[in-house]
Amino acid sequence: DVKVTQSSRYLVKRTGEKVFLECVQDMDHENMFWYRQDPGLGLRLIYFSYDVKMKEKGDIPEGYSVSREKKERFSLILESASTNQTSMYLCASRSGGVGYEQYFGPGTRLTVT
Using CB under 8 A, which residues numbered 77 to 96 contact another protein? Answer: 90, 94, 96
> 81 or 89, CB closer to another protein?
89
Residue 60 lies near another protein (rule: CB under 8 A): no
Among 34, 48, 64, 74, binds another protein (CB under 8 A): 48
Residue 105 lies near another protein (rule: CB under 8 A): yes
DSSP character string of 82-94:
-GGG-EEEEEEEE
Residue 74 lies near another protein (rule: CB under 8 A): no
Distances (CA, A) of 103 to 3, 14, 16, 45, 63: 8, 30, 31, 14, 25
Q: 18-37 mask for another protein (x: CB under 8 A)?
A: ------------xx-x-x--
Spatial contact of 83 and 54, defined as CB atoms under 8 Å apart: no
> 24 or 81, CB closer to another protein?
24
- 109-110-113 Cα angle (round to 5): 140
Burial class of residue 73 (count of CB atoms within 10 Å of its CB; 0-12, 13-18, 19+): middle
What are the residues binding another protein (CB under 8 A)? 4, 30-31, 33, 35, 40-45, 48-50, 56, 58, 90, 94, 96-102, 104-107
